[in-house]
Structure 1
Amino acid sequence: MGDDHGSATGTGRLVTCLAWAVLLFGLWLWGRGVTGVPHGAGSPATGDVLGLPAGQVRLPSAAAPLRPATPQRLDVPGIGVQAPVVVRGLDAQGAVDPPPYTQPGVVGWYGAGAAPGARGVALLVGHVDTRTRPAVFYRLSTLKAGARVRVVRADGRVAEFTVDDVRVLPREGFDARQAYGPREPGRAELRLITCGGTFDRAGGSYTANVVVSAYLTGTGR
């Protein structure tokens, strides 16, 4: 995934994959507002669940949510990520606008949603690769349950999360509630999302999305 896959559309596939993921997020938000879709995950997994050896990982208790604050940096020590976070909004089609493909080392936060560390599900998206090299979330799928994620916030607090779920959700039959709905009501949760599966040359995009779920377990400064 770090090369150009022999295709001149390499740069375009970055936008295609994440645009698809965040478009579904936009539609999910719209559907909740119009049809009252419940907040709970509420449905069984339809994607591959990774990094969850049952009975072998003892996860910590959830910490009380923080007040909202803008995220500034994302640190994921297990995969060597230290990346700036930028606020992203909605594009003309009503989808979350991902970071430009010219900024493969930057993570985008959906600023109209929950802030990392605050109650609700905060959404962070990043690219997996470019035509010539890996991007910020290239190794995201290798995370395991129990891995630590830190978000440095504008209020000086560091929101510390623990990964509890890593899934690869295929485009076909995609269930937006699995990706964006809270795992447990009332918690401060985080989603890290990038492209996954295999690269479909005919379609010009990846066949799935990697969705890492984490929840707030501590704070620091």
Structure 2
Amino acid sequence: MSDERERTTGTGRLVTGLAWALLLLGLWLWGRAVTDVPRGTDGPAAGDVSAAGPVDPALLPRAAAPLGDALPQRVDIPRLGVQAPVMSRGLDTRGAIDPPPFDQPGVVGWYGAGTKPGAPGAALLVGHVDTWTRPAVFYKLSTLRPGNTVRVYRSDGRVAAFTVDDVRVLPRAGFDAHQAYGPHRPGRAELRLITCGGSFDRASRSYTANVVVSAYLTGTTR
């Protein structure tokens, strides 16, 4: 009986490990291609690519207790003047998370199979930096700084307020999905906002980096 239990436990760990590895693979592909621009057209205007690293946690507000599960409906970023609807997105045929359609540049995509904003873990939100003719929803994402606020309106009537604690531009070469998208502190409700960054490579018709903004839950209102 003991041997059978150990085999069962070992199998469960293996399945969990494989599922996590597949998710990280998909996120790695997402990090490399989530906001790639479509093929066969001229290059777009580039967004701002400055970034700020982490600050002393003592200078930021304390983390709030995580909330239960509820669907995100809208994202507000006061410093950027962003008020954007949210759509759930899944994986494409390559296993990467599908961003919002290019004909909806003002929409933010949420990885619907992952953590819900406000719940424990890191919820993933992605938006385009620009189109071929104009800036998109996350055009100025890299100008956010630690201490700035991101609000997520949820289907349970709560507004989850997140405080930015880290802004990074991560090159796609050698991209580390776990570093970019994994929770920074176990048990916290965290948020990742991702878009294109770096320079635009005309040969591959894509950007050379990703802007990754990390934030954590610091309050809720109704």
Name the TM-score class by shorter chain.
0.7 to 0.9
Partner of 1:127: 128
CA distance in 2, matches of 1:36, 1:196: 23
Relative to structure 1, the CA distance from residue 128 to residue 55 in structure 2 (aligned partners, 3 Å threshold; closer, same or farther) is: same
Structure-1-length-normalised TM-score = 0.77
Q: CA RMSD in A?
A: 2.4
Partner of 2:43: none
Identity of aligned residues (%): 70
Which of residues 20, 24, 36 is equivalent to 1:33? 20
The correspondence of residues 58-207 of structure 1 with structure 2, limited to 5 A, is 58-207=59-208
- For 2:142, what is the secondary structure of its paired residue? helix
SS at match of 2:179: helix
Question: Residues of 2 paired with 1:35 and 1:108: CA distance?
Answer: 20
1:31–1:181 distance in 2 versus 1, CA, 3 Å: farther
SS in 2 for 1:78: helix
Please report how far the alpha carbon of residue 33 of structure 1 lies from its aligned counterpart in structure 2 after TM superposition: 2.8
Name stretches of at least 5 consecutive residues in structure 2 with no aligned partner: 1-15, 25-48
User: Which entry has the higher C-alpha Rg, 1 or 2?
Assistant: 2
Q: Could you say what secondary structure the match of 2:59 adopts?
A: coil
Distance in 2, Cα, partners of 1:144 & 1:216: 16
Aligned length: 183
Write the distance in 1 (CA, Å) between the matches of 2:55 and 2:61: 15
- CA distance in 2: counterparts of 1:134 and 1:179, whole angstroms: 24
Give the Cα–Cα distance (whole angstroms) in 2 for the partners of residues 193 and 31 of structure 1. 25
Equivalent-residue separation in structure 2 for 1:84 and 1:102 (angstroms): 14
Q: What is the rounded CA distance, in whole Å, between the counterparts of 1:70 and 1:56 in structure 2?
A: 29
> Conserved in 2, the CA contact under 8 Å of 1:49 and 1:165?
no
Ranges in structure 1 where 5+ consecutive residues have no aligned partner: 1-28, 38-47
